[in-house]
Structure 1
Amino acid sequence: MPAKGTSPFATFLIIGPTCFFLGILFALFPYDYHVLWSTPTATAAFGHAADPTLAPADLYFLLQENHLKFLHASPPLISRILHIVIGTGLLGFIMKLYKPSEANMLFDGASLALYMCGITVYIANIVKGLRTVTDDAYLGGVAPEATSAAGDGEYDYIGREDSLKVLAASNTILALVLCGVLILQAGQWYAQRKEAEEIEEMDKVRDEKKKAAKEGGAHGKKKQ
């Protein structure tokens, strides 16, 4: 049974999209892990020798790059579904923060701040990084359909390896931000549940005192 003052449906609208995004990031983690933290030999990773002309690190950069290009070339339906899910999470926050209680302002306000940080990372780093990878616009390279403020068609981007590492790091940061949203929502549920239990216990003690007072008054009348 939900505690008083909670909105289970709105909470579901927040937790559902958050877990959805974490699932996407988990699917990207095998690519990001080898780019950021560990680079095993090709034989250890694939069970056979890879192209001897490629260094182990270059092999994993190539795998990540090809995967990102495939993602960015996905049908428009995929990005539309992604944006609908983002909007669903925002709708959940709007519902919970309409006429908010103190707990809503504390937990849901902080959760919304983290959620907006995640959206900012997505727009500023991930979307821009996907376009950079697709256009091979590293180190100020020319993109086919892009123009700069000067009109020369150049991007002001860092190198290939650094660009791919920034994308992988952005995915990690986004995952930590989304985990923070889940932790805050769980903390709100726990705090409200404990508050409801304490109120219930106080009401029970008050009722017992009233009952004892009535019984004491009834015994006094009988003695008289």
Structure 2
Amino acid sequence: MAKPNSFATFLIIGPTCFFLGMLFSNLPYDYNVLWTTPADREPYFQILENHLKFLHASPPIISRILHIVIGTGLLGFITKLYRPSEANMLFDGASLVLYMAGITVYITNIVKGLRVVTAGIYGKVAAIETGAPDDAEYISREDSLRVFAASNTILGLVLVGVLVLQAGQWYALRKEEAEIEDMDRIAAEKKNAGKKNK
């Protein structure tokens, strides 16, 4: 295995941990919508809805910083996969697939969800605005907010998978280095023993 590019690994792990921190900060909002069943859920849906509207109304610099961080992670993958070794193809290739899955969830569910919540076009209102037939199925406000919270959870699991694969690559490389050192030591001992016997 080739020596890993530690700076490129940092470019991957840094943005991944940044996103996990963002998702963790959203957990108090998502938790009561997704994981518990209080008697009256309406206040929790309202809190989440207000939070999402506030996020969507944040200054453009916030989304630009977020997109720069996403690009930094992709730069790390491109750097590590340039002239790839077998370890890069296995660990970094799988990590890149997960990272791209995370970006897809972000674009399709989270960005779209922020726009839907801000516009308030849930359910039948959204179906009417898109020209759907009257008997078409539609997603209610509560289900839309649950989908958003579930998307955060899915994204968190995907990003944890990226970290696990990067840690697995580090462990595999260290294990291989230790085995090579042991083989070199044993070969040197055999060589010295052979010289002494002569």
Q: TM-score, normalised by structure 1?
A: 0.81
Deviation at 1:157, TM superposition (A): 6.0
SS of match in other structure, 2:41: helix
Identity of aligned residues (%): 70
SS of match in other structure, 1:141: helix
Deviation at 1:4, TM superposition (A): 5.3
Give the counterpart letter for 1:161 in structure 2: E
- Counterpart in the other structure of 1:23: 21
Q: Which has the higher helix share?
A: 2
Deviations 1:65-99, CA, capped at 9 Å, x for gaps: 00000000000000000000000000110111111
CA–CA separation in structure 1 for the residues paired with 2:140 and 2:109: 15
2:52 aligned to which of 68, 76, 81: 68
- Counterpart in the other structure of 1:194: 175
| Structure 2 spans left out of the alignment, 5+ residues | 132-136
CA–CA separation in structure 2 for the residues paired with 1:215 and 1:60: 79
- Counterpart in the other structure of 1:183: 164
1:111 aligned to which of 95, 113, 133: 95
Deviation at 1:39, TM superposition (A): 3.9
Correspondences of 1:54-93 after superposition (within 5 Å): 56-93=40-77
Moved over 4 A (4+): none
- Counterpart in the other structure of 1:207: 188
8 Å Cα contact 1:138/1:160 also seen in 2: yes
Deviation at 1:158, TM superposition (A): 2.0
Kindly name which structure, 1 or 2, has the bigger radius of gyration based on alpha carbons.
1
Asked if 1:127 corresponds to 2:111, the answer is yes
8 Å Cα contact 2:113/2:148 also seen in 1: yes
Deviation at 1:160, TM superposition (A): 0.5
8 Å Cα contact 2:81/2:88 also seen in 1: yes
Q: TM-score, normalised by structure 2?
A: 0.92
2:125 aligned to which of 131, 141, 147: 141
Give the counterpart letter for 2:80 in structure 1: K
Question: For this pair of structures, how many residues does the alignment match?
Answer: 191
SS of match in other structure, 1:5: coil
CA–CA separation in structure 1 for the residues paired with 2:163 and 2:138: 34
CA–CA separation in structure 2 for the residues paired with 1:126 and 1:214: 69
| Structure 1 spans left out of the alignment, 5+ residues | 42-55, 151-155, 218-224
2:11 aligned to which of 7, 10, 13: 13
